[in-house]
Structure 1
Amino acid sequence: MRRVAPFSAQRWNYAHATFYGDETARETLQGACGYHNVYKQGYGTATTALSTTLFNDGFACGSCFEIRCVDSPACNAGNPSTVVTATNFCPANWRHPTNNGGWCNPPRQHFDMSRPAFDKIAFWRAGIVPIAYRRVPCLKQGNMQFTIEGNPWWHIVFVTNVGGPGDLGQVYLRGSITKRWVRMTHNWGVGYRIFQSYLGQGISFMVVSNSNSETVMAWNVFPDYWQLGQSFSGGQFQRPHIMRI
């Protein structure tokens, strides 16, 4: 397995941010990335949807971004920043121009944040504000979480609580009986499927980051008595050095 450096914060870029939903963030529970319940999975309300350009066909799901409001009277005093995880997709709205309602139209880089996350950087009545943003390491507690669904003939696995780079590029599965690594097909967001039954086998995973190709071996995650709908944890990307900002 190739060794790579822990994922570190990247340079600042400029974009705009809006919000969706209300202060309860109920509208942000699930989303296009395949998270079942971001509250229960540890993401809370610190989440955002990404425009097409940033979403990258779902390969940006799980990425963490530091965001601060800039150059607007609506910015909170001191221009504080907040860190959010990408959990949803903000689709294009071609009925409106890019600079007037079509905020998520390509090639625009845009964040449609949860209301609680937006409140941390700006006054919500502004609606839209200019921001500075950068990718940062995802600081997670514990190991990655693997949830398996599907049926006896094919399975789909959702990988959550991903630290370091946060995103997923490739996921491989290995049965304790078949003893062969098989690359899973990217279904959508954090979901990967395989058209083969692994019922009755213990399962290990190999996870590759989309950002820096860092690879994690998660051995014996599922016991041989696992059932559809269950979740198990194992493996995690390298713990990044915490940067002082």
Structure 2
Amino acid sequence: MNGNQWFYEVIVSNVGGAGDIVGVQVKVDKSRLRWTSLDHDWGATWKTGFPLQGKTLSFRVKSSDGRYMTSMHVVPSNWQFGQTFEGRNFKSGGRRRRNFKSGGRRRKGVGQL
């Protein structure tokens, strides 16, 4: 996770499957909020302005073949900027009916997975 109090940056790598990442979402544990899409910055870097500091995080990655890989609770609530986390419990899911969109009307900002 990289960034500062205003933005968080996540670098996603070594996902497997088709290899091309077309979307990344984050979910804050113990919240009623749904999955929040991160904006693609450049390369393997994804960003958000959604407040993530001090929260346990789960990530969902969509590959170019339409499959989702989800890693629940991969980032603990005591994470610090500059740390790297490995989602060993990534599970591959089938295609979903709803569209997965990066960007939209969300605040811009960034954290590194």
TM-score range, shorter chain: 0.7 to 0.9
Partner of 1:138: none
1:1-245 to 2 correspondence within 5 Å?
148-178=1-31, 179-210=33-64, 212-234=65-87, 235=90, 237=92
Equivalents in 2 of 1:180, 1:230: separation in Å? 25
Q: After TM superposition, what 4+ stretches of structure 1 lie above 3 angstroms from structure 2?
A: none
Deviations 1:36-78 (A, max 9, x none): xxxxxxxxxxxxxxxxxxxxxxxxxxxxxxxxxxxxxxxxxxx
Higher helix share: 1
Q: How big is each residue's C-alpha offset from its partner over 1:65-104, in whole Å with a ceiling of 9 and x where there is no partner?
A: xxxxxxxxxxxxxxxxxxxxxxxxxxxxxxxxxxxxxxxx
Q: Which has the higher contact order (CA 8 A, sep 6+)?
A: 2
Identity %: 33
State the TM-score, normalizing by the size of structure 2: 0.73
How far apart, CA to CA, are the structure 2 residues paired with 1:205 and 1:215? 10
| Runs of 5+ consecutive residues of structure 2 not aligned to the other structure | 94-113
TM-score w.r.t. length of structure 1: 0.35
Distance in structure 1 (CA, Å) of the matches to 2:92 and 2:5: 30
Is residue 186–residue 192 contact of structure 1 (8 Å, CA) maintained in 2? yes
| Residue ranges of structure 1 left out of the alignment (5+ in a row) | 1-147, 239-245
Q: Within 1, Cα distance between the matches of 2:7 and 2:21?
A: 21
Paired residues of 1:163 and 1:236 also in contact (CA < 8 A): no
Q: CA deviation at 1:177?
A: 3.8
